[in-house]
Structure 1
Amino acid sequence: MALLMALARRPDPVSLSFVAVTFITGMAVALQVPTLSLFLAKEVQVRPFLVGLFYTVNAVVGILISQWLGHRSDRKGDRKQLILRCCLAGVALSLLFAWHRNYWLLVSVGVLLASLASTASPQLFALAREYADRHNKRADMFSSVLRAQFSLAWVIGPPLAFALAIGYGFDVMYLASACAYLLCAVVVWRWLPSIPRPAQDPDQERVSSWRDPAVRALFIASTLMWTCNSMYLINMPLYITRELGLEERLAGLLMGTAAAIEIPFMLLAGYYTARVGKRPMLLVAVGAGLAFYVGLVTLSSQTALLALQLLNAIFVGIVAGIGMSYFQDLMPGRTGVATTLFTNSIRTGSIMAGAIAGGVAEVWNFHGVFIVATGLALAALVACWRVPNV
């Protein structure tokens, strides 16, 4: 009841603007990412190796650019202006993909624009954290509400993306994404606040984030958790159809079910973190994730796979809900870098997942991928024990 009352309080216009920008940027990304491999294969007509190369280059360049901009945004400049430029880069990215089919142009200029556009999300969450701290708002709850908007966008975006691409063509789909980024730019320019950068301790600025054992342990734990999640998303459709002999539509049903029910767990995580702290909540999440992968290894019926999505939703919902603010609490005064570290742990996990899932499935089988994921989830649980509670 207290949670419902907290959510029902009338938000201010600026908070609503943060919610709107988060949802619309999530929609813009959800319109592009699910259909990217199909676009490259059908429209650009490249072989599978070049499709995989695009994903790898995009992930690596995205990590480098977002980390550099994260450090820069904490030292100087207006974070709002950086978000605005990232949204405009998203507009340019969408128009490039709508009108051009040259692979090397897309993998060079396109990847650069995509890396800039993707930086909008961590910078938006960093600005939201600074706004929440300045106005004495519940930062954990506010961050969880914003993360829930991203999940909601991913419930709506992928079906819409496929409907536009199949029914009207990829150019229409990318133009829709361009409109979403343009709308975000307008909202950012008109309603998001400009918050002056606080003076930063020179000694703190020189210290590498990786030298902090708490930050290092949390980054390792977060990377392992997102590696497990990405391995599941990569492997699950093939495991269901090729090894279990179940229908292809079950894969979409499992993804949609998990995405829908993880939203309340994001909100619950933001609410209860203030009572018990982030470390116990994270341990609950990883414990649920470990149980989920053990279930995937031992169970195979359609009913069981659907029931296991509750554990998956607890795992992803809590990690996505409080993971970012955990980094921010461990790195006071470096909100941009902290938020980018969380985002880059997701990207690093995706890179690792692609290599591990493909290699294990090649030499073993798809079921073996879940056995490896179980081991990685256990390693993530160990890493979480080394992170202090905040």
Structure 2
Amino acid sequence: MTIPAPAAAPAPARLLVPASALLWGLQVALLSPALAIILATLYDASTADIGWTLAVYHAGGFLAALLIPAWADRNRSYLQILLGCGVLTIALAGALATASSLPPATVALVVLGGPAGLGTTMLFAHLRDAGTTTSRIVGTRAIVSVAWVGGPPLATLIIGAAGGRGILAALVVIAVLNIATTAAMMARRRRLDRVAAPGPEARAPAEAPARPVSGRAATVLVVAAFVLFQACNATAMSFLTLYVSGTVGLAILWGGITLGVAAALEVPALLIIGRLGDRIPHLRLVALGAIAGVAYYIGLAAVTEPILLLALQPLNAISVAAISGIGLALFQDLIPGAGAATGLYMNTRRIGAVVSGPIIALGALPLLGQRGIFLACALLTLAGLGLVHAARRASRARASVPADG
């Protein structure tokens, strides 16, 4: 049964999802760059301690992103878990503020921080479950990117003024706002369900679009491709400033300017590619993003002047928009269960961040140097493009086999 949508939602209702995306994006954008400083200042953690704590924390987040979204799919309780993420964020801030040493803080990060970090995952799963279009999902992803433009600078200002506990207090304020917006979305969803139909069919999931690829082998190939894409993106983002100052020979300020330009271009790129995603197959847009990524990494390996460095950033924006925006929608098309699909996509980012370490280590080899890091990224992105093409071929081959009987 198809549920008729209301003719028009009131303006405050239309702002609920954008506000939620901005707040959840801001929560992560505040905590991620500040967590190492929190561990060092509140618990006197050494560099090695911070490294191991962050590794355990991210491992806990990886497991949470596998288990909790799958449970949400079975119970169709995305907004309820989103509300729980806000509550757990408050609990995490309280636990970190009162912990007397690093071990209990680490336990709090794993037990509370892992599930609390699933806010954006549950939000996008809710949008998918509600039958939201690709353009709106990618547009919502663009709002998360806006939060990342302002989040890290805001985190440094708060730390400078109030220290690590100041960040924890800010997280509590954001979590309270997240709880309020989620509660409003839940109330609106209940009203829509009552208007649509009284029976269980009122919560029937939206009809799923045709899957761009089918079969276990094709799915594995797409997931592997995105791990490579995410690894190369993580490498470029984390190493660019050092590369610009150490190898290209520019002032370190150019690294910050370049990252700022990249973040600014990412938002309109996401909006544009999201609209294209309603009309053009998602795999084709992902392939376009991969080609742009290959060109970008080759350009980085050859760059010698700041103007060329900035001129390359539109290619980077296209690549990031395709991988982070259309990629999310692609996984939701590909994998049954809105929560499991979104959680698996988010985990490709975590695995990619781990893989970026060995890629960066290639720069220590005398025959390659730091420029070789980006040549390796170009080759790996090209390999990811080949995996996407192989997934399409495997899917077509599977579809051409007649069913028995």
Which among 355, 360, 363 is matched to residue 362 of structure 2?
A: 360
Write the letter of the residue equivalent to 2:359.
Answer: I
* Structure 2, unpaired ranges of 5+: 1-7, 194-199, 206-212, 397-405
Deviations 1:243-282 (A, max 9, x none): 2332222222111111111111111111112222111111
Shift of the 355–56 alpha-carbon distance from structure 1 to 2, 3 Å rule, reads farther
Query: How far did 1:289 drift?
Result: 0.5
Residue segments in structure 1 that go unaligned for 5+ positions in a row: 1-8, 200-208
- Choose 47-56 or 190-199, whichever is displaced more: 190-199
Q: Alignment partner for residue 320 of structure 1, among 318, 324, 329?
A: 324
Indicate the structure (1 or 2) with the bigger Cα radius of gyration: 2
1:36 counterpart = 2:35 = yes
Contact 1:29 1:177 in 2 (8 A): no
The equivalent position to 2:161 in structure 1, one of 163, 167, 184, is 167
Work out the CA distance in 1 between the residues paired with 2:22 and 2:233: 22
1:338 aligned to 326, 338, 341, which one? 341
In the alignment, what sits opposite 2:175?
Answer: 181
- Counting matched residue pairs gives 366
Most deviating of 49-58 and 149-158: 49-58
* Counterpart AA for 1:54: T
- Residue in 2 that maps onto 1:58: 57
The equivalent position to 2:145 in structure 1, one of 148, 151, 157, is 151
Q: Deviations over 1:57-93 (max 9, x none)?
A: 1222111111111111111252211111111111222
Checking the alignment, whether the CA contact within 8 Å between 2:66 and 2:344 is kept in structure 1 is yes
- 1:369 Cα deviation (Å)? 1.8
- Say if 1:74 and 1:39 are closer, same or farther in 2 by CA, change over 3 A: same
CA distances 1:112-165 after superposition (whole Å, capped 9, x unpaired)? 21211111211110101112x1xxx5x101101110110000011111111111
1:77 to 1:311, Cα distance in 2 relative to 1, 3 A: closer
TM-score, length-normalised on structure 1? 0.87
In structure 1, what is the Cα distance between the partners aligned to 2:174 and 2:160?
19
Relative to structure 1, is the Cα distance of residues 300 and 43 closer, same or farther in structure 2, using a 3 angstrom cutoff? farther
2:269–2:321 contact (8 Å) kept in structure 1: yes
TM-score (norm 2): 0.84
The code of the aligned residue for 1:95 comes to G
Matched, 1:348 2:351: yes
CA offsets, 1:287-322, max 9 Å, x none? 111100000111121111111111111110122111
3-state secondary structure, aligned to 1:276:
coil
Deviates more, 1:51-60 or 1:149-158: 51-60
1:22 matched residue in structure 2: 21
**Residue 287 (structure 1) aligned with residue 291 (structure 2):** yes
Residues 96 and 108, structure 2, Cα contact 8 Å, conserved in 1: no
Change (3 A) 1:353 1:101: farther
Computed over aligned residues only, the root mean square deviation of the Cα atoms, in angstroms, reads 2.4
Q: Percent identity of the aligned residues? A: 29
Asked whether the 8 Å contact 2:37–2:164 carries over to 1, the reply is: no
* 2: CA distance, partners of 1:335 / 1:172: 35
Match of 1:204 in 2: none
Distance 1:369-1:11 versus aligned 2 partners, 3 A rule: farther
1:278–1:326 CA contact under 8 A, matched in 2: yes
